[in-house]
């Protein structure tokens, strides 16, 4: 696809590739989707603006593998060279649920915990889930199936449910 916007609020850098089976639902509230140069969005990726008022901004050379789902929620920001393995879910929002008298669907959303931020050169393993308030430092690795809701320091490897430090990357 070209660098020209597909629809209002969608900006693609030079050389961005979006698979024909990827589904991008543009925002109805004026939020932006920015995909940096050289990035690739593979088959059956879903990008949807729901659950908040955040933008989705990806740096250069990000690779979003098949079956990933990104909800805008309170915002998603990827640095450069971010790799999402197949099936990763990025969900920077949470439903409100305190009232028993009102269906959860009608209670709106909880206050933002800051969205999801992934710094440069991060690899997120298959089927990991990244929740609102998640910050993953430069060069970190998230193991397959992990659920991350907090801060992962740079160059650490985290895994599990909830995710915890497993070790540091080699120097």
In a domain, 164, yes or no: yes
Looking at the structure of the chain, the number of domains it has is 1
pLDDT digits (tens, 9 = 90+) for 75-105: 999 999 999 999 999 999 999 999 999 999 9
In a domain, 5, yes or no: no
Task: Print the domain residue range for 39.
Answer: 10-168
In a domain, 62, yes or no: yes
pLDDT band at 2 (very low <50, low <70, confident <90, very high): very low
- Residue 123 is part of a domain; what is its CATH number? 2.160.10.10
In a domain, 139, yes or no: yes
In a domain, 1, yes or no: no
In a domain, 3, yes or no: no
Beta pairing partners, 92: none
pLDDT band at 28 (very low <50, low <70, confident <90, very high): confident
Q: Is 50 exceeded by the pLDDT of residue 3?
A: no
In a domain, 109, yes or no: yes
In a domain, 49, yes or no: yes
Q: How far is CA 133 from CA 90, 120, 155, in A?
A: 11, 17, 19
Q: Is 80 exceeded by the pLDDT of residue 67?
A: yes
Reading the block at residue 94, the tokens are 């949470």
């Amino acid at each position: 696809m070209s660098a020209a916007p597909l629809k209002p609020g969608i900006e693609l850098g030079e050389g961005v590739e979006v698979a024909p089976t990827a589904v991008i639902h543009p925002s109805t509230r004026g939020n932006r989707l920015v995909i940096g140069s050289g990035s690739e969005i593979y088959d059956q990726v879903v990008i949807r603006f729901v659950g908040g008022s955040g933008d989705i901004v990806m740096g250069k050379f990000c690779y979003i593998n098949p079956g990933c789902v990104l909800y805008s929620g309170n915002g998603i920001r990827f640095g450069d060279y971010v790799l999402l393995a197949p099936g990763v879910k990025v969900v920077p929002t949470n439903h409100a649920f305190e009232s028993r008298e009102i269906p959860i669907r009608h209670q709106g959303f909880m206050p933002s915990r800051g969205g999801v931020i992934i710094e440069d050169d991060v690899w997120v393993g298959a089927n990991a889930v990244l929740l609102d308030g998640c910050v993953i430092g430069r060069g970190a690795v998230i193991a397959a199936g992990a659920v991350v809701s907090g801060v992962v320091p740079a160059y650490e490897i985290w895994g599990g449910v909830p995710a915890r430090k497993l070790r540091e990357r080699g120097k």
